[in-house]
Amino acid sequence: MHVAFLRLSALGDVVMASSVVKHLARHNPEVTIDWITDRGFSELWNLPENVKVVGVDKVRSLQGFWKLKRMFSHLSYDFVFVAQASSSAHLAAMQLKGKKIGFDSIRGKEGHRFFVDETVPFLKNHLMEGYLSIARMLKQENLSRLDMDTLRLDALPWVETNLPPRYLVFCPVSRQREKNYPFERYIDIFERFEEVPIVVCGGNSAFDRRFENMYAKVKNVIFLAGKTDLMQLFAIIKRAACVVAPDSGPIHIANNLGVPVISLFGATSSHASGPYLQQHYAIDVYEESRRRYGLSSDRFHRIRKKGVMNPIHPNRIIESLSQLIS
């Protein structure tokens, strides 16, 4: 049997989906799986031999569309699992021949149902359950012990050379601004743990790096935002005593690697998109925010309000960190 599993972005979602791909591959050794993801993520994975990682570029032009069509023209699949509801994923799915399985009408936005042949039942819980529902189409029911640890850790020697043996990791920036905790409040937390090195990670955008001067005055901060690649980030997180971050890729990376993670939620619900095996460590004010703004109880609704994360007091993070690293 030949199966395609399609998830292009974003990083945290791809990391979550990779766990399902690994589980399917290990428990169905007779199945060959093409793991189709963004080309920028294609070299990151530690997966079984019956998984082939296929990196593709997002379609941004007619030329890109035809390039993708030629890439898959000779392939045919028994099943195509379309695990993303977006225009770029739908354009990619159009090129894949085989029975297409996709999300339900709640998760299936942007006309998702027109690009799939069958949808999985909706379960009002974590996004990972959507991926698991797709996995059950292969009659794989034993998913209670989900395989994590799908990320390559080639950069561990770099970490051991360049960072202290014990440290905390903070990844303060989400690309969706309403998810961000007030950046200046992290300083109170950094100073409370002044005896522990604090590694601040992030991307290479000007927004990620704008806080370097703000945090530079804190003596225990090692500011690495914009100075590492993804493999180095994986290794940094793997060696961390604990990770603190809002709803963004690093919380799912930490969860995948078995590293304690304190996730911060207000614009979104940790019950829908928190680190799957560590939701009990989440600091979540989503329900409080939902009531404050008079919104429905749909946990899949994102609250796009400035200051939605403000109700989280630094002391809550400090207390959780103290318990985890004591």
DSSP 59-88: P-SHHHHHHHHHHHTT---SEEEE---SHH
Rounded to whole angstroms, how far apart are CA atoms 64 and 173?
31
Sign of torsion, CA 279 283 287 293? Answer: negative
CB 314 within 8 A of CB 189: yes
> Tokens standing for 67?
């390039």
Contacts of 182 (CB under 8 A, 6+ apart): 309, 310
Which domains does the chain show, CATH number per domain? Answer: 2-138 (3.40.50.2000), 156-325 (3.40.50.2000)
Could you tell me the two tokens for 310?
Answer: 């403000």
105: tokens are 């009408």
What is the chain's pLDDT, residue by residue, as a tens digit (326 residues)? 999 999 999 999 999 999 999 988 988 899 999 999 999 999 999 999 999 999 999 888 889 999 999 999 999 999 999 999 999 999 999 999 999 999 887 778 889 999 999 998 776 678 898 888 877 777 655 555 677 899 999 999 999 999 999 999 999 999 999 999 999 999 999 999 999 999 999 998 888 888 898 998 899 999 999 999 999 999 999 999 999 999 999 999 999 999 999 999 999 999 999 999 999 999 999 999 999 988 876 777 899 999 999 999 999 999 999 999 98
CA angle, residues 184, 188, 191, in degrees to nearest 5: 125
Residue count of the chain, please give it: 326
